[in-house]
Amino acid sequence: AEHSKTWTYVDGDWHAGNVPLLGPRSHAFWQGSSVFDGARAFEGVMPDIALHCERVNRSAAALLLEPTMAPGTIAELAREGVAKFEPGTALYIRPMYWAEEGGYMGVPPLKESTRFCLSIYETPMPPVTGFTATFSPFRRPSLEVAPTNAKAGCLYPNSGRAIMEAKARGFDNAIMCDMLGNVAETATSNIFLVKDGRVATPVPNGSFLSGITRARVIGLLREAGVEVTETRLMPSDFLEADEVFSTGNYAKVVPVTRIDGRDFQPGPVMARARDLYWEFAHGSA
Ligand code: PMP
């Protein structure tokens, strides 16, 4: 079989590698009308692939784009893509919608004249085991100021500058607060703390992506009898925690090993959540 490093599905076909797609009239390029999702494939499993494909369609609709493919069809294509790699390769799977052409003089993507495009990009990506973080001077916008109900490309320059600022101070990632000063999420994932055996995580208020992995882990922990509350959390709550961990499609469940001046040991509740997640992932293949 032919094994290329990356594959892109676009316009009804798979192409080896990255495919150049945009021109100066592309609405996505000019006005940021692109949405994406991130799923993963590991040995034999694609955890919650159906939910990731449903969310990319919801993200498209939230950004006034037309989702042109059923989530089930996107998932089938994603699976078809995975089969192009060496069996067992850890992959990142990125379905995207964007607006082309139409709306070249208008700010919103115009439904009558716009071509709504879908691509699926798949590339090998090794697993991640944990990271350090710092409280960011940058904040998460609310739904009133940004389309936070979509996993939209246009939200990520804010995450990008937070990560760059954190890296400049020697940390891997940034923990971001909302405009009211409540902890929201990291620049790339959701965040949980453990105190006295109980788990807490910020309550969704439109300021952060309420992740698919987050919901899965909350459900699994509760089923296992662990108390999980969604509540307002301040930076000090995290600095005083026994454990801190993160959830997201990319790294799944991993410990946060340092926040600013405070070190954290990967703890038993994080390990429980991580084991429950992988049990679920292998059971749902
Ligand atoms: N927050 C942000 C900003 C993210 O980019 C991600 C990754 N998609 C998450 C949270 C985690 O969401 P999920 O578990 O759905 O991947």
The interface pTM score, or ipTM, of the predicted complex is 0.99
End-of-domain residue from the set 124, 149, 184: 124
Does one domain contain both 119 and 136?
Answer: no
* pLDDT above 50 for 283: yes
| 106 CA distance to ligand 1 middle (Å) | 30
> What CATH code is carried by the domain that includes residue 206?
3.20.10.10
Same-domain pairing of 58 and 180: no
Same-domain pairing of 114 and 12 = yes
Nearest CA to ligand 1 atom 1: 189
Question: Are 270 and 155 part of one and the same domain?
Answer: yes
Distance CA 275, CA 278 (A): 5
Residue 1 in any domain: the answer is no
Whether 143 maps to a domain, the answer reads yes
Answer yes or no: is pLDDT of 284 > 80: no
pLDDT digits (tens, 9 = 90+) for 15-26: 998 888 888 888
Q: Judge if 25 and 135 occupy the same domain.
A: no
From atom 12 of ligand 1, which residue's Cα is the shortest distance away?
A: 211
- Check residue 43 and give its pLDDT: 86
Q: Which of 69, 94, 124 is the last residue of a domain?
A: 124
Q: Looking at 68-72, 90-94, 113-117, 131-135, which range is the least confident one? A: 113-117
- The boundaries of the domain holding residue 141 are 131-283
Query: Region 110-120: what's the mean pLDDT?
Result: 68
Asked which of 83, 107, 124 is the last residue of a domain, the reply is 124
Kindly state if the Cβ of 202 falls inside 6 Å of ligand 1: no
Report pTM: 0.95
Of 36, 183, 188, 280, the residue with max ligand 1 atoms within 8 A of its CB, to mutate for a pocket test, comes to: 188
72 belongs to a structural domain? yes
User: Same domain, yes or no, for 136 and 276?
Assistant: yes
How far is residue 236's CA from residue 45's CA, in Å, rounded to a whole number?
A: 37
Average pLDDT of the residues in 256-281: 97
Q: Which residues of 227-252 are buried (b: 16+ CB within 10 A; e: fewer)?
A: ebeeeebeeebbeebbbbbbbbbbbb
Say what the pLDDT of residue 116 is: 64
What is the distance, to the nearest Å, from the Cα of residue 52 to the centroid of all Cα atoms in its chain? 9
